[in-house]
Amino acid sequence: MPTPLRVLFLMEDLCFGGTQRQTLELARRLDRKRFTPVMLTLTGPTDLDASAHEAGIELHHIGMGRRVPVFFFMQLAVILRRLAPDIIVPCTALPNIWGRIWGRALRLFDGTRRPMIVGTCRGGGAPARQHEKYFWRLADHMVCNSEALLKILQDFGVPSGRISYIPNGVDTEFFVPAKPAPSQREPLILCVARLAGDKDHLTLLRAFELVLQRCPSARLRLVGDGPEEAVLKRWAAENPAGCSVDFVPGGLDMRPHYAAARIFALSSAREGQPNVILEAMSSGLPVCATSVGGIPRLVEHENSGLLSPAGDAATLARHCCRLLEDSALCDSMGAVGRHRVERAFSFASMVTEHEKIFSHIGMLM
């Protein structure tokens, strides 16, 4: 029997976040007869380490704390060579830059085609942050999670044979509709998202101000952590609407939040294919979101949710009010969303497509 290929997922961290959870689920579900998943983070131990250990995933760290060490890139080459991966899958910006650079350097130094590199591009700002106009050439294959990102990479010149669009997956047996039906719950608007600039929480907060004028009993729950936390909390402290806004740290299990909410809202300015929208739809929630990146591929306007332009607080508020006030529409859109993820966004499909790529490039070594 052939030795399983060592697939190294190079992560900035394993904090709570969509990319981290998607990557962890992919690594967890790989066929262990053909692939040995390994994870290396630029930080020290963080939120999802225990889940990785429970899944039997080999896990290593470069740093000690939650911050990336200043000179991580000097240690990275040594550690990559010691871990001897057959395939490197860098995730997020810093790993996609330095993982590709050192992966290529190791190949030149050793005179082999190992490790092969599967670059990833996730999130609307990723092409710029990862300098994909130039760095895609350092990857043997590219994977993106939205058709919008696929088009951007194709425009950069990535050949069709070296790029794949693989939608995110969701565990439809884990995220299930809860009772009572969304329309029978308290008027809670839920947003689960990293508190970062791409998510544009300020537009959601401004929309919520307008929602309160029509639905004064509504509340907004922001679940997540991130660099914009202080700015957003300051806004909430300085504006009357802030009294109806709850900030909740991120966690491993989001199901209690989905079960409590009436609608799910996301005001991102840039996106790939947000995993939280799939989770919300799988949980039977109707969605109000911005029409950016891969979101229109997930949310069918006037069918499973309502879409608005990025930065348009007035339209987002109007859509939230419509679902808060129309019980039948709220529940029907939630049911349609649940059916859609069951049909088109399974984890099994996501894993199978990645395994095909790993097997193919493994044969090229």
Q: 3-60, pLDDT tens digit by residue?
A: 999 999 999 999 988 899 899 999 999 999 999 999 999 999 999 999 999 999 999 9
Residue 156 shares a structural domain with residue 236: no
Asked if residue 176 is part of any domain, the answer here is: no
Residue 53 shares a structural domain with residue 158: yes
Residue 275 shares a structural domain with residue 127: no
Distance CA 172, CA 162 (A): 30
Residue 148 shares a structural domain with residue 11: yes
Asked if residue 174 is part of any domain, the answer here is: no
Residue 114 shares a structural domain with residue 210: no
Residue 279 shares a structural domain with residue 308: yes
Q: pLDDT per residue over 149-163, tens digit each?
A: 999 999 999 999 999
Residue 280 shares a structural domain with residue 308: yes
Please say if the pLDDT value at position 1 is more than 80.
no
Asked if residue 131 is part of any domain, the answer here is: yes
Distance CA 223, CA 301 (A): 24
Residue 12 shares a structural domain with residue 94: yes
Which pLDDT score is estimated for 272? 82
Distance CA 88, CA 365 (A): 13
Mean pLDDT of 184-199: 96
Q: pLDDT per residue over 262-310, tens digit each?
A: 999 999 999 888 989 999 999 999 999 999 988 999 999 999 999 999 9
Asked if residue 197 is part of any domain, the answer here is: yes
What is the domain-level CATH number for residue 99?
3.40.50.2000
CA 210 distance to own-chain centroid: 28
- pLDDT bucket at 255, cuts 50 / 70 / 90: very high
Mean pLDDT of 170-190: 96
Which pLDDT score is estimated for 192? 97
35, 4 Cβ separation under 8 angstroms: yes
Residue with tokens 């193919």: 360
Which pLDDT score is estimated for 319? 98
pTM, full prediction: 0.80
Beta-carbon contacts of 41 under 8 Å, excluding residues fewer than 6 positions away, are 11, 12, 13, 14, 59, 60, 61, 62, 63
Residue 163 shares a structural domain with residue 242: no
Number of domains composing the chain: 2
Residue 222 shares a structural domain with residue 133: no
Which pLDDT score is estimated for 51? 95
What SS3 string covers the chain? Answer: CCCCEEEEEEECCCCCCHHHHHHHHHHHHCCCCCEEEEEEECCCCCCCHHHHHHCCCEEEECCCCCCCCCCHHHHHHHHHHHHCCCEEEECCHHHHHHHHHHHHHHHHHHCCCCCEEEEEECCCCHHHHCCHHHHHHHCCEEEECCHHHHHHHHHCCCCHHHEEECCCCECCCCCCCCCCCHHHCCCEEEEECCCCHHHCHHHHHHHHHHHHHHCCCCEEEEECCCCCHHHHHHHHHHCHHHHHEEEECCCCCCHHHHHHCCEEEECCCCCCCCHHHHHHHHCCCCEEEECCCCHHHHCCECCCEEEECCCCHHHHHHHHHHHHHCHHHHHHHHHHHHHHHHHHCEHHHHHHHHHHHHHHHHCCC
Mean pLDDT of the chain: 95
Q: pLDDT per residue over 92-144, tens digit each?
A: 999 999 999 999 999 999 898 899 999 999 988 899 999 999 999 999 999 99
Please say if the pLDDT value at position 70 is more than 70.
yes
Residue 206 shares a structural domain with residue 335: yes
Residue 186 shares a structural domain with residue 133: no
Asked if residue 177 is part of any domain, the answer here is: no
Domain hosting 82: range is 5-169+346-362
Q: pLDDT per residue over 316-363, tens digit each?
A: 999 999 999 999 999 999 999 999 999 889 888 899 999 999 999 999
Which pLDDT score is estimated for 123? 82
Which pLDDT score is estimated for 357? 98
Mean pLDDT of 84-96: 96
